[in-house]
Amino acid sequence: KSGVKVSFISTPKNIQRLPKPAPESEVAALINFVEFPLPASAALDDKLLLPEGAEATVDIPSENIQYLKIAYDLLQHPFKQFVAQQSVDWIIVDVMSHWAGKIAQEYHVPLLLFSAFSAAAFQFIANPECLVGDGQKRVRPSAESLTSVPEWVDFPSSVALRTFDAIGMHHGFYGMNASGITDAHRTAEILHSCQAMAIRSCPEFEGEYLNLLEKLTGKPVIPVGLLTPEPNSAKGRDHQISKIFQWLDEQKPRSVVFVGFGSECKLSKDQVYEIAYGLELSGLPFLWALRKPEWATDDVDALPLGFADTIRGKGIVSIGWAPQLEILAHPSIGTSLFHAGWGSVIETLQFGHSLVVLPLIIDQPLNARLLVDKDLAVQVERKDDGSFTRDGIAKALRLATVSEEGEKLRVRAREAANTFNDKKLHDDYSVRFVEYLKINVATK
Ligand SMILES: O=c1ccn([C@@H]2O[C@H](COP(=O)(O)OP(=O)(O)O[C@H]3O[C@H](CO)[C@@H](O)[C@H](O)[C@H]3O)[C@@H](O)[C@H]2O)c(=O)[nH]1
């Protein structure tokens, strides 16, 4: 909207998944979607490491994400060619493209890191000792050290991991994978070579962590606002989805629990079953958007035997991709049981729903702690091995949705909507971000 031309580069299927501006709009003429095919298995040592059509983590089991990184790294070649041929003012990347720094340097283009994680989560992994970029020595923290609030946090905070989450992050972020480059190394390289960092956040929500991140990285950290999305109209809904909305229309205001775990978490059978029984036990109406688990042979197999009959009329399990944002916008939704993915935190709080968090991977446990610190969420109780029970689910849901004890939480969540839904506030941050880009274009 500021008149800047953007080339949005990704692979064909991922570009297909993106929402697009209306073709006749002024913005459409400024955004160029550039498709680089993801190198197929032939380029990957002739091993069929990725199934046909797999281009994102949502398409593959978690253990194969490392192969996606191998394929992704090969995109540096067409990317370099693109930068060489175009007149590029800025390169904006996320933490995976560790090779972008060298390309930016070679063509004298400034590089900007964009974080889709919260500042509270990002500062946790921005340990200066672990993140010395450019091939220098890095210290790998112990899993145990990840269970404490980092020593650089100089304000009250409990943003740290429990042992079971710490083991997961130690392995997933600091541990080696088939691409030969750890995620910590990727992050380090980008942080080292970028001029600045932009982040989907705002000082009104987590100003203390944004300041800390700037201090830690020694780079300008620019909040772009929460980029709060707007729900689409009801047009083009298929039969299954229309039925969901009909059912929602029949429910009382703020009475229904929405359940969703984003695009990347892969729930085990035990986890799905405990959530199912926990929902039933809570006695609350619910709508569960469940992506078909890999272990289920069909939709019926994905849920406990007879569950669909038991809950008939009281709840709906919609298997497959559901229009989460439009569901959250419905006045019957009152609570969300979810994984604390940053995108869903923003989507949920913009409607002031009460939050019950059940974080599973990556930054989710850190976001969950941030929400609990801010009295905005209740966490489902976990055992030492990270498992949870149906009773734990039911208890947390009743606390957040109907119990007197949870009233403070419900009020806080509704108040938070004032900040999360303040379109002008967030637009202003986006405008200031674009101004920064315009002012700081490199003179070649
Ligand atoms: O059936 C579904 C499932 C998801 N969504 C949408 O998918 C997005 C999910 O985003 P998010 O809540 O951020 O979850 P993930 O996709 O799982 O997010 C990944 O990326 C986030 C940062 O953006 C991290 O915080 C998470 O840990 C990481 O798993 C949201 O827009 C949802 O509305 C749907 O529309 N329908």
Report the range of poorest mean pLDDT among 190-204, 227-241, 285-299: 227-241
* Helix (H/G/I), strand (E/B), else coil: 98: coil
User: Average of pLDDT values for 42-59?
Assistant: 76
List, in sequence order, every residue forming a beta bridge with 319; answer none if it has no partner: 290
- β-pair type (6-10, 91-93): unpaired
Protein residue closest via CA to atom 8 of ligand 1: 262
Report the range of poorest mean pLDDT among 130-134, 228-232, 398-402: 130-134
Q: What is the DSSP string of 139-167?
A: PPPPTGGGGS--TT--SS------HHHHH
Q: What is the pLDDT of residue 141?
A: 86
**Å from CA of 262 to ligand 1 middle:** 4
**Å from CA of 360 to ligand 1 middle:** 13
Mean residue pLDDT of the chain comes to 93
pLDDT, tens digit (0-9, with 9 covering 90-100), for 345-359:
999 999 999 999 999
Q: Which two tokens stand for residue 424?
A: 């002008």
Which residues make Cβ contacts (< 8 Å) with residue 243, sequence separation at least 6?
Answer: 316
- β-pair type (6-10, 111-115): unpaired
> CB of 210 within 8 A of CB of 203?
yes
Nearest-angstrom CA–CA distance, 130 and 147: 16
**Å from CA of 32 to ligand 1 middle:** 24
Q: Is the pLDDT of residue 110 over 60?
A: yes
| Coarse DSSP helix, strand, coil percentages of the chain, rounded to the nearest 5 percent | 45, 10, 45
**Å from CA of 257 to ligand 1 middle:** 18
CATH architecture of the domain covering 239-420: 3-Layer(aba) Sandwich (3.40)
Q: What is the domain partition of the chain in residue ranges? A: 6-229+423-439, 239-420
> CB of 74 within 8 A of CB of 97?
no
Protein residue closest via CA to atom 13 of ligand 1: 343
Residues with CB under 6 A from ligand 1: 116-117, 260, 262-264, 289, 321-325, 341-344, 347, 362-364
Ligand 1 atom nearest to 328, measured from its CA: 33
- Yes or no: is domain 6-229+423-439 CATH 3.90.1150.10? no
Q: Do domains 6-229+423-439 and 239-420 have the same CATH topology?
A: yes
Tracing tokens 């009460």 back to the chain, one arrives at 354
pLDDT, tens digit (0-9, with 9 covering 90-100), for 293-342:
989 999 889 999 999 899 998 999 999 989 999 999 999 999 999 999 99
Q: Which helix (H) or strand (E) holds 338?
A: strand 333-338
User: Phi/psi at 321 (nearest 5 deg)?
Assistant: -80, 125
